[in-house]
Amino acid sequence: MTMSEGRDGREKGAEHSLSIRELLTLRSVPRARVRGWVAGKAGVGGVVFVMLRDGSGYLQISAKKGVASQDVFNSVREVPRESVVEVVGAVREDKRAPGGVELAADGFEVISRAEPWPITKTAVQSRSYLLEMRHLSIRGRKSIATMKIRAEVMGACFDYFRDKGFTLISAPTFVQAAVEGGSTLFEVAYFGKKAYLSQSAQFYEEAALAGLEKVWICQPAFRAEKSRTAKHLTEFWMIEAERAFADQEANMRLQEELVAFAVERVLERRQDELAILGRKLLRPELPLERIAYDELREMAASKGTQFAYGEDIPTEAERLVSLSREAPFFVTEFPLSARSFYHMTYDDRPEVTKSADLIAPEGYGELATGGQRISEYYPLLQRIKSQDMPPEAFSWYLDLRKYGMPYHSGFGMGVERATRWIAGLKNIRSASLFPRTMTRVSP
């Protein structure tokens, strides 16, 4: 039986089309119809094997000379890699096949014939070639596994915040105020005015607190980062949460619970993908370790990297300390000089903020930054002035403090940073389907 008919998607013959996952779960059906992409091909003697890929997994297809018709055998043998095909045949248990099941094809239709695959071993001379070909290279096993883990992390955040009664909001990405300082702002021409791409939705979250009390957000953030590192993108997705009547302690508990929940979820649902990536992911024990900034400074110094009090923690210091950790940890009590203007300080230590970074273990670096905000008008106005910033630029943000603002705190966590750590990726670019960096805005 060949299947030249029915390209319009109507069901043909007795077998309904199954997803590969459905088939691998059912197993006991005698026959099945599947469709997907030819991820790989091999031939031994009179048998051709195709590794078929669909959105749910991989399935081994075999076509045996003398069992399949000559037509079917020939089309399987000749089908180019990445062609889209529909296959029908007998389902057989086979321990050697991935998933333990093989489909012996007796019907084979090419829905979309592919040209010769351009990403060959000889063509791949450099990492930049792969990035140039990213629209195609994302079909690779590791990319697919990474994206499924990323989706699981984001989905876990949706579930976690919904269960905790946080309202999901959205905020503009065209903005005029710098949340995280002027040096990483992308400027855009906005009808004769200047606007910027948002670095963080935090100020909008703070505005939303009065009506919603607990909010969270998941949207792109932009940073004109002039650094080429394994952890910086110019456009990334950020999960942010902000809560009224929550101090910095409560804020850290929220973050650690969220991270533990996301890891748990990935361990529960994405074992196959972790295996494809060769990632041994450990479930973090709560509470996570808290290391004061000063303590971390000493730890880094003892490992050979020194930095002055007041500086932001250098990447190398962060890396060295985190290499000796198996779970994420907080670095608390950041000096004000290393923080954005809105951070609250301790009454008895006006140079120290009620803020923390959440650092991933094993050298992956910062996952999140959070803190308690200045919630009163005059202290915030004074802080803005003391840092030589124009209060007019923050007028509505200041205004919020005039009309009922309780103590509150929040944090932001980069989705690609979290994915990079959870999936164990060398570079943050792999955690994004189409990464944006200083040198790349295409494909």
The token duo for 158 is 């949706």
Rg (CA), the chain: 27
Of 271-279, 336-344, 368-376, 401-409, the segment contacting Mg ion by CB under 5 A is: 368-376
**369, 372, 375, 419: residue in contact with Mg ion (rule CB under 5 A):** 369
**Residue number, 183 or 271, with CB nearest to ligand 4AD:** 183
Stretch of 4-12, 32-40, 253-261, 362-370 contacting ligand 4AD, by CB under 6 A: 362-370
Q: Applying CB under 6 A, which of residues 60, 198, 202, 437 lies at the interface with ligand 4AD?
A: 202
Dist CA 133 CA 121 (whole Å): 13
Pair type for strands 174-175 and 167-168: unpaired
Q: Which amino acid is at 313?
A: I
Out of 180, 273, 318, 333, point to the residue binding ligand 4AD (CB under 6 A).
180
| Beta carbon of residue 156, minimum distance to ligand 4AD (angstroms, whole number) | 16
Amino acid at 185: L
Residue nearest to Mg ion (CB): 369
Helical H runs in 138-292?
A: 141-163, 202-212, 248-269, 271-276
**What is the Cβ-side half-sphere exposure of residue 86, based on CA atoms within 13 angstroms?**
21
Report if residue 328 touches ligand 4AD, rule: CB under 6 A.
Answer: no
Least distance from Mg ion to the Cβ atom of residue 369, Å: 3
Per rule CB under 6 A, is residue 233 in the interface with ligand 4AD?
Answer: yes
Please calculate the CA angle 79-80-84 and round it to the nearest 5 degrees.
75
256: contact with ligand 4AD by CB under 6 A: no
In terms of Cβ atoms closer than 10 Å to its own Cβ (0-12, 13-18, 19+), residue 368 is buried
Please report which residue ranges of 79-230 form alpha helices under DSSP H.
Answer: 127-132, 134-137, 141-163, 202-212
Residue range at the interface with ligand 4AD (CB under 6 A); choices 71-79, 100-108, 320-328, 408-416: 408-416
Pick the closer one to ligand 4AD by CB: 225 or 272.
225
Distance of alpha carbon 398 from alpha carbon 381, whole angstroms: 7
The Cα 323–Cα 306 span in angstroms is 17
Sign (positive/negative) of CA torsion 296, 300, 303, 307?
negative
Joined together, the tokens standing for residue 72 give 């079917």
Q: How many residues does the chain have?
A: 443
Interacting stretch for ligand 4AD, rule CB under 6 A, among 44-52, 62-70, 275-283, 414-422? 414-422
CB-neighbour burial class of residue 11 (10 A; exposed 0-12, middle 13-18, buried 19+)? exposed
Among 37, 58, 341, 411, binds ligand 4AD (CB under 6 A): 411
Q: Say whether residue 432 binds Mg ion (CB under 5 A).
A: no
Binding-site member from 83, 248, 369, 419 for ligand 4AD (CB under 6 A): 369
Please state the closest distance from residue 370 (CB atom) to ligand 4AD, in A. 5
Closest approach of Mg ion to the CB of residue 368, in Å: 8
Q: Is 318 in the site for ligand 4AD (CB under 6 A)?
A: no
Q: Which stretch binds ligand 4AD (CB under 6 A): 5-13, 112-120, 290-298, 407-415?
A: 407-415
- Minimum Å gap between C-beta 419 and ligand 4AD is 10
CB atoms within 10 A of CB 162: 12
Residue with the shortest CB distance to ligand 4AD: 412
Taking the CB of residue 292, how many other CB atoms lie within 10 A of it? 15
Tell me whether the omega of the peptide bond preceding residue 391 falls within 30 degrees of 0, making it cis.
no
- Nearer CB in complex with Mg ion: 270/343: 343
How many CB atoms sit inside 10 A of residue 120's CB?
9
Which residues form the interface with Mg ion (CB under 5 A)? 369
Which residues form the interface with ligand 4AD (CB under 6 A)? 179-180, 199-200, 202, 223, 225, 232-233, 236, 238, 240, 366-370, 410-414, 416-417
